Amino acid sequence: MSKIDARLRAACSRDGRQASLEVVAGDPLELTRDDLVAWLARQGVRFGVDEAGLEYVRQGVQQVDFVDRRPIAAGRAAEPGLDGRLTWRVAVNGTASGQRREDGSIEHRARDGLCAVQAGDALADIEEPRPGRPGYKVSGQEVPAPPVDDGLPQRIGPGVERRGLTLHAKRAGVVFHREGEMLDVVDHIVHEGHVGMGSGDLNAPGALTITGNVEAGARVTTKANLHIGGYVEGTIISGGDVVVKGGLLGQGEREVVAGGDLSAGHADHVRLTCRGTLSLQRSAVHTRATARCIVVGDGRGTWLGGEAMAETTIVVGQCGSRSHDATVLGAAQPLESADTPPGRVRPPPRGRGRARAARVRRDAAADRQAQLEARRQIRERQEQLLREAHIEVRGTVQPGTLIVLGPHRHPVERPLNRVRFRYDPEEKCIQTESL
């Protein structure tokens, strides 16, 4: 062992961001700064060395009885950059769920109309991302900066073109925008009157406006936004936002599916599914709904019977009834189906006898593994949602209502007024808070 190794010991933290130097008693040493730097490099400390600390140690080791322990080097954390973003030049439908009031609250009933553009119109300016600054461990190993997002939708359709740092419409139509996912300019079809036996079903490749009602038995399918001027008794399948001026009516068999937000006056005995915010102006009666967020009457409406399942939040005014109609309100429920996926459709196994049986067993094992992985992902997503998910009832919760947060259940046994339900990870139960 050399004399310098007998007097000095270096230690790095597990994450490599700190290094300390310990000096023990021993023979005096005459060292230069370069001697110390070279010795630290052999110990794996090459970045962020404290010059004042080096000089302090260099002078100290000249004494026999000098002992000490002090930080000698520090790494540098990676600095995040700035994500890119779009600055809109047009009032894009779906950029916000409702309108913000002066007091900061959200008017969820408000929705923008269809955004019509002409060929060549500027849609948005692109603010390019700024990359971050890499960090370094004390060993000199680079720590990459977190990746930045370009701020553009994952897919830009054929109706939009990029010119430098601006997105333009390539054709006349209406803007179809789904945050982070899709941007396009699509055809806008206007159907005058009702959709029913007289008109037949409608299947639109772009945005669609129906000035009348969608009658019982009719089916409307569109890949973009859908506006309906009356009520809906039929089936609606839309890839974008759905705005219904009237109500959603059914007999437990009707279904409305929206790829974005869904807004309507009220819902009665119908199944609702939307990837964004479900906003009902007045009430929902014996309705089954799944959405990212559910708001009824801007916190003043009623949910009676059926079930409401949201990823993040539910805000209603009244819930349940004195006649104890079964009502379920649930949050922290991933939009992905909690059911295990079916096995893959595979061609019939070839071969005979044992070889065929072995292939069947392997395929079945692979399907089971895929199902277990899907369940695991659902559980992880649910645990993430539980941190922020909550249910607010700004009026009265009647007995018979079942509150569900993730896998946890809380039956309401007595009337409660102005309450919020949250999951407490420490107590591992659903807590009731006063609003």
Give 118-138 pLDDT, tens digit per residue.
Answer: 999 999 999 999 999 999 999
Whole-angstrom Cα distance, residue 202 to residue 195? 8
DSSP states along 53-121: HHHHHHHHTTSTT--EEEEEEE-BPPBP-B--EEEESS--TTSSSSEE-TTS-EETT------EE-TT-
Q: Report yes or no: 229 and 243 within 8 Å, Cβ to Cβ.
A: no
Separation of CA 67 from chain center? 54
Question: Could you state, in order of their start, the residue ranges of all structural domains in the chain?
Answer: 3-74, 85-134+146-182, 186-343+376-434
What pLDDT score was predicted for residue 337?
57
Phi then psi for residue 45, to 5 deg, are -110, 105
Residue 362 CB partners (closer than 8 Å, separation 6+)? none
List the pLDDT tens digit at each of the 435 positions of the chain: 688 999 999 999 999 999 999 999 989 999 999 999 999 999 999 999 999 999 999 999 999 889 999 999 999 999 999 999 999 998 874 433 344 445 544 443 333 356 888 999 999 999 999 999 999 999 999 999 999 999 999 899 999 999 999 999 998 888 888 888 889 998 888 888 999 888 888 888 888 999 999 999 899 999 889 999 999 999 999 999 999 999 999 876 789 999 999 999 999 999 999 999 999 999 999 999 999 999 998 888 999 999 999 999 999 999 988 776 789 999 999 987 534 444 455 566 566 677 777 887 888 888 888 878 877 887 888 888 898 899 999 999 999 899 999 889 999 989 999 999 999 988 889 999 998
Q: Is the pTM of this model over 0.75?
A: no
What pLDDT score was predicted for residue 139?
94
Phi then psi for residue 104, to 5 deg, are 95, -15
How do beta strands 173-178 and 242-244 pair?
unpaired
What pLDDT score was predicted for residue 105?
42
3-state secondary structure of 278: strand
DSSP states along 281-318: EEEEEEEEEEEEEEEEGGGT-EEEEEEEEEEEEEEESE
Residue 256 CB partners (closer than 8 Å, separation 6+)? 232, 235, 236, 242, 248, 262, 270, 271, 272, 273, 274
Query: By C-alpha distance, which of 312, 342, 298 is closest to 106?
Result: 298
Phi then psi for residue 170, to 5 deg, are -90, -15
DSSP annotation of 130: B
Whole-angstrom Cα distance, residue 32 to residue 50? 15
What pLDDT score was predicted for residue 207?
87
Residue 108 CB partners (closer than 8 Å, separation 6+)? 97, 98, 263, 277, 279, 295, 298
Residue 51 CB partners (closer than 8 Å, separation 6+)? 33
Phi then psi for residue 405, to 5 deg, are -125, 110
Residue keyed to tokens 């490599």:
16
DSSP annotation of 7: H
3-state secondary structure of 355: helix
What pLDDT score was predicted for residue 254?
83
∠ CA(354), CA(359), CA(365), 5° rounding? 125
